[in-house]
A and B are shown apart, each in its own frame.
Chain A
Amino acid sequence: MDTFIQLTIDALTLGSVYALIALGYTLVYGVLKLLNFAHGDVFMVGTFIGYGVLQLLGGAESPNVPVWALIPIITVAAMAGCAILGVVIERFAYRPLRDAPRIAPLISALGVSFFLANSMQLLFGATPRTYNAFDLGNGELYFKGFDIGNVRVPLLRIITIGSAFVLMIALYLLVNKTRTGKAMRATSYDREAAAMMGIDIDKVIRFTFILGSALAGAAGVMFALRVPTTAAIGFVAGLKGFTAAVIGGIGSIPGAMAGGLILGFAESYTQGYISTKWSDLVVFSILIAFMIFRPQGLLGRADIRKV
């Protein structure tokens, strides 16, 4: 039972990170019908922005700001930095190819992905960087928390899972209740019709990149608070986020959230009950199963085209 609780907490932590990444894929796919393969690397840059700002603030051992403010500050910094990066990528790598055949922006996305991964490696080397979150307030984030049975749920996990859910709820409200969010949905359903309503498509696309990239930035900090980061993590993280988005139904926002959590659970339980070596196998088997039996994903709508 204790193992199960422990694994469930792990699953939620991992799953919420995947879900945040998947949302970026799904949002951009929604408005541009583009698989933004540079998205995982935006996430990776987010981990580094968080790391850099943490060092600027004195590092985890002796921060210049109160401990309670530290995580929000680095998260917001990573979100802002990634948002700017997302806008720049859209402007220079995708917008010039807006009317090109769909394969062209896809190749451009892969190019951006390689560019980001390699330039980060060039700038910061290949040594893993760690936030040393354990040192924050002398281990407060790990020792404090609450107990379920014999299992301690550390504060850090609560913060990660909690803020991921807050971000997802905020996104859901933004997309469904605000004027800009509705314009995003309209654009993703029918771009030309949305333009005929006076919606500025460029603005909507830029806004979508801001949202998706900011979520990736937040996910980056949540991830790197627990695991050391390198310039190479973007590829796998992006692949997992993409898988989560496809399982949930690409283009569907609740789908991306569900897909991320499913992936988190699959990975965590496989690691705990079978073997750590099997986790990727299980994850990608789920992807293949979906591709065969439900290609539109859990909550996606089947692509019906007018002929």
Chain B
Amino acid sequence: MTALLEIQNVDTYYGPIHILQGLTLRIEPGELVCLLGGNASGKSTTLKTVLGIVTPRTGSVVFDGEDVTRRSTSYRIGKGMAIVPENRRLFAPMTVLENLEMGAYLHGGGKKEDFDRVYELFPLLYERRSQLAGTLSGGEQQMVAMGRALMSKPKLLLMDEPSMGLAPILVERSFEIIKQVHESGVAMLIVEQNANVSLSIADRGYVLSTGRLVLEGAAASLREDEDLRKAYLGR
């Protein structure tokens, strides 16, 4: 089976600072992979490298059979990536509907079936469609952010810290939705600090530390790993 996403030996720099150091990572079609690590471990930079917001100095990013290392973000999204950014980053002064339209920007602003699909997953968004996104509660905003990313029918959904800033009950609800989306066949790369929750739903996991991969494997075995438990699971 060919991988959906394959990052090969990537080195990414911010100016003189070496962030990702020889990172190699792959995601199979339909797989849910989580990327764990503490602060400044390079998790967000990995997502930015996948999306093409930063370009690696060496190494390659292959998505859906094509080398996209030098391609623009816009190209990659057109090819089937989507992201739920850290802190959701909704367009607060725009309506829920307009936010969803922006998610399908490269697909002409969204077809009726795309809206239907998202509204089916989040019926609340249909009720709130004319409301300004900035006036919604945190949990509702999370739904908009996920709905917005799903509008383009992505093959690979990237999620940057989906649990951040959410009450525990909402974290649980979020991950239920993530599971549900995953079960519909969307591959996902989830970047998380909350290792416990994300490993519970992931197929596989990678652990980053200061820009290097320190651990990888099936989610179940990572949950049992002594070092990881000490570092992230707190028990």
- Contacts A185-B91, A189-B94, A197-B148 known; list 14 others, CB within 8 Å: A179-B108, A182-B102, A183-B105, A186-B91, A186-B94, A189-B92, A189-B93, A192-B53, A195-B53, A196-B73, A196-B83, A197-B102, A198-B74, A198-B106
Q: Are B53 and A198 in contact (CB-based, < 8 A)? A: no
Q: Chain B residues with Cβ under 8 A from A198's Cβ?
A: 73-74, 77-78, 105-106, 152
| Interface residue A200 (Cβ < 8 Å from any Cβ of B) | yes
User: Which size bracket describes the interface of A in this complex?
Assistant: 10 to 19
Q: 24 A-B contacts, Cβ less than 8 Å apart?
A: A179-B108, A182-B102, A183-B105, A185-B91, A185-B94, A185-B98, A186-B91, A186-B94, A189-B92, A190-B89, A192-B53, A192-B89, A193-B85, A193-B90, A194-B102, A195-B53, A196-B51, A196-B77, A197-B77, A197-B148, A198-B74, A198-B105, A200-B72, A200-B74
| Interface residue B101 (Cβ < 8 Å from any Cβ of A) | yes
Using a CB–CB cutoff of 8 Å, the interface residues on chain A facing chain B are 179, 182-183, 185-186, 189-190, 192-200, 301
Q: Are A182 and B101 in contact (CB-based, < 8 A)? A: yes
Q: Chain A residues with Cβ under 8 A from B78's Cβ?
A: 198
Q: Chain B residues with Cβ under 8 A from A197's Cβ?
A: 77, 102-103, 105, 148
A contact patch SS: helix
Q: Are A179 and B91 in contact (CB-based, < 8 A)? A: no
Bound CA–CA A111/B93 (angstroms)? 34
Which of chain A's residues has its CB closest to B78's CB? A198
Q: Are B91 and A199 in contact (CB-based, < 8 A)? A: no
Interchain pairs with CB closer than 8 A, number: 61
Q: Are B72 and A196 in contact (CB-based, < 8 A)? A: no
Which of chain B's residues has its CB closest to A203's CB? B74
Bound CA–CA A303/B154 (angstroms)? 34
Q: Chain B residues with Cβ under 8 A from A186's Cβ?
A: 91, 94, 98, 102
Q: Chain A residues with Cβ under 8 A from B51's Cβ?
A: 196
| Interface residue B139 (Cβ < 8 Å from any Cβ of A) | no
Which of chain A's residues has its CB closest to B76's CB? A198
Contact residue among A193, A199, A200, A301 (Cβ-Cβ distance under 8 Å from B89) = A193
| Interface residue B109 (Cβ < 8 Å from any Cβ of A) | yes
Most buried by A among B73, B85, B90, B106: B73
Which of chain B's residues has its CB closest to A179's CB? B109
Q: Chain A residues with Cβ under 8 A from B105's Cβ?
A: 179, 183, 197-199
Q: Are B72 and A183 in contact (CB-based, < 8 A)? A: no
Which of chain A's residues has its CB closest to B106's CB? A198
Bound CA–CA A181/B105 (angstroms)? 11
Bound CA–CA A197/B149 (angstroms)? 8
Q: Are A195 and B94 in contact (CB-based, < 8 A)? A: no
Q: Chain B residues with Cβ under 8 A from A199's Cβ?
A: 74, 102, 105
Which of chain B's residues has its CB closest to A200's CB? B74
Q: Chain A residues with Cβ under 8 A from B83's Cβ?
A: 196
Q: Chain B residues with Cβ under 8 A from A193's Cβ?
A: 85, 89-91
Q: Are A189 and B74 in contact (CB-based, < 8 A)? A: no
